[in-house]
């Protein structure tokens, strides 16, 4: 029994190994061809005209001018049930996964495209601010100072 509890504790501590780090992002899915769900790459926000996702030589450019909407969501990483959640809460802070959904219409395209990215926990505020400043075609209302535009902790 003691060995089982030690195993569970080590497993619990190692769960954070699956989290994204640094400037990496995971393409969760969408309508863009050429990218498979689950690939990890880098989101480059340094361009003035496009949001760029690069993965192993492949490049997805999303022009800020063509972004129609964007949304940030935060979900609990693992749903454990009541009793395991209480145990985890006593030992460790619950992990959250951070997602951005971006809907855009490429120039000259009749159909809109959608991409969903999972980003590291430090990136939502920055990415939200960049999208609000550069993606001027979105219907997202501007946020006033003092409010938390992305619901980040």
Domain ranges of the chain: 20-134
Mean model confidence pLDDT for the chain: 77
**Per-residue pLDDT tens over the stretch 112-148:** 999 999 999 888 899 999 999 998 876 655 443 333 4
What's the pLDDT at 136?
80
* CATH code linked to domain 20-134: 2.30.29.30
The rounded distance, in Å, linking the Cα atoms of 84 and 68 is 41
**Could you write out the DSSP letters of every residue in 38-73?**
T-EEEEE---SSEEEEEETTEEEEEEGGGEEEEEEE
């Amino acid at each position: 029994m003691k060995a089982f509890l030690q195993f569970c504790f080590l497993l619990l501590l190692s769960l954070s190994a699956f989290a994204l780090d640094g400037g990496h992002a995971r393409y969760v899915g969408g309508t863009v061809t050429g990218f498979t769900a689950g690939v990890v790459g880098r989101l480059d926000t340094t361009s003035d005209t496009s949001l760029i996702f690069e993965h192993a030589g492949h490049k997805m450019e999303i022009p800020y001018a063509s972004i129609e909407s964007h949304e940030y969501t935060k979900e609990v990483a693992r749903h454990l049930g009541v009793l395991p959640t209480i145990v985890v809460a006593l030992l460790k802070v619950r992990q959250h996964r951070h997602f951005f959904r971006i809907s855009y219409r490429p120039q000259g395209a009749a159909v809109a495209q959608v991409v969903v990215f999972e980003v590291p926990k430090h990136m939502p505020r920055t990415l939200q601010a960049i999208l609000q400043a550069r993606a001027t075609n979105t219907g997202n209302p501007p946020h006033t100072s003092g409010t938390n535009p992305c619901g980040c902790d």
